[in-house]
Amino acid sequence: MEKVTVSLGTRSYPITIGFGLLKDPTAFWPLISGDSAILITNDRLTSLYLDPLYKRLVQVGIKVDCIILPDGEQNKSLLMLDRIFTFLLKRSYSREITIIALGGGVIGDLAGFAAASYKRGVRLIHAPTTLLSQVDSSIGGKTAINHSLGKNMIGVFYQPVSVIIDLDCLDTLPRREFSSGLAEIIKYGIAFDASFFYWLENNLELIFKLEPKALAYCVCHCCKLKSKVITNDEYEKSQRILLNLGHTYGHAIEVHTGYDGNWLHGEAVSAGIMMAAFASYRLGQFNDFEAKRVSTLLIRAGLPISGPINMKPNDYLPYMMRDKKVKSGQLHLVLPTEIGSAKVYANVTNDVAMASIKDCQNLVN
């Protein structure tokens, strides 16, 4: 078992990483305020993780209620958020309630937004069950819901009291969703850590095989990288923006395709990373050799390096111009300068952004 700390003064919290943690009530009950908790999960995870965790919490004297939401990115919505609030209000829960988010990024965002908003804030524990949520979305306090005009545009920063990562959850994760999580892992190497990118190139097959030491190292290293960024820039004013590598393009893909599951978040980010690499190349930064390393690793991870066939470059632009990094009507993009380093480029022209999308299309044609 490993522990990583997100250092935020009085709001600091641990990230606990290990195997079998959902079967260990001592990982949860000391963190619960009072004697009551709400488990929020989705209908796909109830038989896998909800019942065992529920029973163990009850055994140690915790009163547990469950909110089971439908699975899927399209359900990260105001409607589902309202369902959570209605559940809590009908049962007159006080500020002493603890919310446990048991699931991937959708559940984490919904439960986190609810915890931040219900009676102006209650305790939150993240128990992420997907690779993507374990290495990225459960850490750092970002919560949001989607809108038909933009992804993650309505939300709030709200830190949990703990993140509990049970690596056994990855045993049941479908291959496609596992690959989706690898996109965020590869992103860390490109944006922050060249030696970690090299490690991924040499150990990707071990990660796919869920080899315990390689898997634990990979997840733990990503948590350390992100916790360091959050400690230095909680509210995304400087360094934390670099975590958005590939996301401006990727979010455009997700919104355009309607959150319907045809494109998972990590798949869209993967295509976006490649587009960002080509944009950087066009600006005279990234070179051919490094772009090839990135595309090769993404492909080996089972990820796309181009967007939807029926999505034209001009289709991206309206969504990209609503991105949170846009300033004074000018597009700002996080682009890699070399493997292991990235920066925000101000005033990237539409021509460069559109050309980078075409470059990716040409790469797969």
Task: Verify whether residue 201 is a known catalytic residue.
Answer: no
> Token pair for residue 45?
């995870």
Closest CA to 318 of 184, 150, 200: 150
Write out the two tokens for 73: 């990115």
Token pair in block for residue 165: 């990562």
Active site residue 224: no
Spatial distance between the Cα atoms of 148 and 353, rounded to a whole number of angstroms: 22
Q: What tokens were used for 25?
A: 């009530």
- Best CA proximity match to 331, nearest among 320, 315, 343: 320
The active-site residue, picked from 56, 251, 282, 332, is 251
Of residues 76, 123, 146, 236, which has the active-site annotation? 236
Q: What string of DSSP letters covers 161-213?
A: SEEEEEGGGGGGS-HHHHHHHHHHHHHHHHHH-HHHHHHHHHHHHHHHTT-HH
| DSSP at 51 | H
User: Catalytic residue at 236?
Assistant: yes
Query: Per the residue annotation, which of 73, 151, 244, 256 is the catalytic one?
Result: 244
Is residue 205 annotated as part of the catalytic site, yes or no?
no
Give the list of residues 6+ apart from residue 30 with CB closer than 8 angstroms, or none.
none
Please confirm, yes or no, whether 226 is among the known catalytic residues.
Answer: yes
Residue 244 annotated to the active site: yes
**Catalytic residue among 76, 123, 142, 187, which?**
142
Catalytic-labelled residue, pool 76, 123, 221, 247: 247
Q: Who's near 211: CB < 8 A, 6+ residues apart?
A: none
Amino acid code (one letter) for 296: T
Mark whether 126 is an active-site residue: no
Name, in order, each residue with C-beta under 8 angstroms of 59's C-beta and a sequence gap of 6 or more.
25
Is residue 265 annotated as a catalytic residue, yes or no?
yes
Catalytic residue among 187, 221, 265, 332: 265
Closest to 127 in 3D by CA, of 138, 142, 113: 138
Buried b (16+ CB within 10 A) or exposed e, 173-193: beeebbbbbbbbbbbbbbbbb
**Is 146 in the active site?**
no
How many alpha carbons fall within 13 Å on the CB side of residue 343?
A: 10
Q: Show which residues are catalytic.
A: 120, 142, 184, 226, 236, 240, 244, 247, 251, 265
